[in-house]
Amino acid sequence: MPTDTLNSLGEIAATNTWGAIYPEMILGCLALFLLVLEVVLPKFAHGAIPRIAILGQILLLGYIVVFDPSGCCNGVAFGGMIELSGTGQALRIFFLLASIFVSYLAMVSFENKTLARVEYFAITLVVTGALSLMAMANHFVMLFVALETATVGFYVLVSYFRQNVLSLEAGLKYLIMGALSSAILLFGIVLLYGAASNPALAGSSEDAMNFQNLRAFLEANPTDSLAIIGMLLVISGVAFKIGAFPFQIWIPDVYQGAPVSTTAFLAVSSKAAGFAVLLTLVKTFAPLSSVLVPVLTGIAALTILFGNFAALTQRNLKRLIGLSGVSHAGFLLIGVIAAQAVPQATNWVLFYLFAYLLGSMAVFAVFAHLPKVWDSDLELDDLGDMAKRNGFLGIALAIGIGSLAGIPPLAGFIGKFLIFVAAFKAELYVLLGVGIVGVVISIYYYFGVIKAAFFEVWRFTDEDEEAEAAPALPGATLTGLGKLTIVVAIAGSVVLGFFQGPLGSWLSGQ
């Protein structure tokens, strides 16, 4: 091997700061440890494994928040593979928090089923680590590998209820759609690589998949058609993952069929990771923004309108939340577009994601406690005067849904408000208008959910049916710990609505 190659390899090896990615390494090792525990421990002790997983994650999250809230270092590491930044650190905390909620939801919803229980938690940990690496990716190889690690994990998580046809079918649909989007993304990467590694063009580089090198190339050749097609394919691939129009077709089916914990995981973490990637990519593709911005604008407007209109007539709860999630993706897209002109908008997107996390988790936690064997069958009517039968869950649902709808003074309102401010500052008036229309429509169906939970449901009253008592709530036992988890989610929504102080200044103070 030539000496200069070895020297440059030595330089790359010197940038391998393993200490900077300790949370992901701990998550991976914890997952392996859980698998070993499963085969080592006797059967009766298996109940402890989910608790170990959750405890480990809480300890890790606590350590990061208390001792290392802003990350150890900034800049690129691992030979340009990842970029450490405040945004990456914030998303790391986001994914960990989401993963704790997801593990808890899984624990609750597996209670009354006969299943292999342990693998779910190990896969959740691996996926969380992969998502957090994906958010920090600075190179297409890193991006693709992290994305696929997460996606393959999600295939398993979606089809986890092996006895349930709906879960398997959702898994198959997610598999085909996920693999298709990965292939499209990969072909886009191939074309970008082909354009940017061409030594005949100015600004080309041998390591053309590095985002900085790619950006330098695009600045030198802003009209290269191969690169533009590649960029559009890459954006399509990411749009699949975040469920933006016209790539949202898989969302309702997969959200309905998947176990409720996986639905929450997909809705929150997977979407957030997609937006983290999109934020990075929009920066990389900035020289092509004359093509990129109109495309993204169109996608954002159609996503908001489609998500809201499709959710209007929906009776199935998980499909409803899935479709409303599509419209949230549209709002986030506005933030991403605005972030090109208004740099703080990146932090506002992050704030929106945190608000969305807390609201969604409260709602999904309520779903997990509803009395149905398979949560795919949950309908609006199943909420029937829930507030009377279990006041605590009723309030949790109201606050969660209210935050998602953006009712002041909850966190979701501040999130939407910040996005609209960003759109106004970036002079995206059309998107601003579409966004406001979207909010108005969404309030209608969100209130449908609250109405179903709080007001007397008109039932077809027959003399005989009168005797049939309504099913007792909750389906899964609501333990003290469960109450605490839900309280954390709803308290977060309320507190962030009134007082964004530390989180807000921390997000913008990077």
Partner 1 sequence: MTVGLEQYIAVSAALFAIGFFGVLRRKNTLVIYMCLELMLNACNLGLIAFSRYHGGMSGSVFVFFTITVAAAEVAVGLAIIVALFRKRQTVQVPDLNALKN
Partner 2 sequence: MTVTDFVPVLIQIALAAGLAGAILTGSVLFGQRGSKNKIKNYAYECGIKSDGKTSTRFSVKFYVTAMLFILFDIEVLFLIPWVLVYRDFVANSLPILGPILFFLGVLVVGLFYELKKGALEWEK
Interface residues with partner 2 (CB under 8 A)? 1, 6, 9-10, 13, 16, 32, 35-36, 38-39
Residue 240 touches which member of partner 1, partner 2, none, C-beta under 5-8 Å by kind: none
Residue 162 touches which member of partner 2, partner 1, none, C-beta under 5-8 Å by kind: partner 1
Residue 32 touches which member of partner 1, partner 2, none, C-beta under 5-8 Å by kind: partner 2
Element (H or E) spanning 24, and its range? Answer: helix 22-40
**Whether the Cβ atoms of residue 371 and residue 441 lie closer than 8 Å to each other:** no
Cα separation, 190 vs 170, in Å, equals: 30
Residue 289 touches which member of partner 1, partner 2, none, C-beta under 5-8 Å by kind: none
3-state secondary structure of 110: coil
**Whether the Cβ atoms of residue 341 and residue 426 lie closer than 8 Å to each other:** yes
Residue from 316, 390, 442, 485 touching partner 1 (CB under 8 A): that is 316
Residue 39 touches which member of partner 1, partner 2, none, C-beta under 5-8 Å by kind: partner 2
In whole angstroms, the minimum distance from the beta carbon of 202 to partner 1 comes to 14
Indicate whether 423 belongs to the interface with partner 1 (CB under 8 A).
no
**Whether the Cβ atoms of residue 131 and residue 270 lie closer than 8 Å to each other:** yes
Residue 6 touches which member of partner 2, partner 1, none, C-beta under 5-8 Å by kind: partner 2
- Rounded to whole angstroms, what are the CA distances from 375 to 53, 304, 320, 399? 24, 26, 13, 21
Question: With 0-12 CB in 10 A as exposed, 13-18 as middle and 19+ as buried, what is 462?
Answer: exposed
Stretch of residues binding partner 1 (CB under 8 A), selected from 17-25, 250-258, 407-415, 435-443: 250-258
For partner 2, give the closer residue by CB, 4 or 466. 4
φ/ψ of 75, rounded to 5, equals: 105, 175
Cα separation, 381 vs 379, in Å, equals: 5
Cα separation, 231 vs 191, in Å, equals: 8
For partner 1, give the closer residue by CB, 179 or 494. 179
Residue 171 touches which member of partner 1, partner 2, none, C-beta under 5-8 Å by kind: partner 1
Within the chain, how many helices (H) and strands (E) appear? 22, 2
In whole angstroms, the minimum distance from the beta carbon of 128 to partner 1 comes to 18
For partner 2, give the closer residue by CB, 9 or 202. 9
For partner 1, give the closer residue by CB, 164 or 347. 164
Cα separation, 267 vs 417, in Å, equals: 21
408: number of Cβ within 10 Å: 12
- Rounded to whole angstroms, what are the CA distances from 112 to 57, 107, 109, 115, 117? 24, 10, 7, 9, 11
For the segment 189-218, give every residue that binds partner 1 (CB under 8 A): 189-191, 193-194, 197-199, 204, 206-209
**Whether the Cβ atoms of residue 506 and residue 93 lie closer than 8 Å to each other:** no
φ/ψ of 304, rounded to 5, equals: -60, -50
For partner 1, give the closer residue by CB, 71 or 129. 129
In whole angstroms, the minimum distance from the beta carbon of 162 to partner 1 comes to 6
Residue 395 touches which member of partner 2, partner 1, none, C-beta under 5-8 Å by kind: none
Residues found near partner 1 in the complex (CB under 8 A): 140-141, 144-145, 148, 152, 155-156, 159, 162, 165-166, 168-173, 175-176, 179-180, 182-184, 186-187, 189-191, 193-194, 197-199, 204, 206-209, 252-253, 256-257, 314, 316, 319, 376
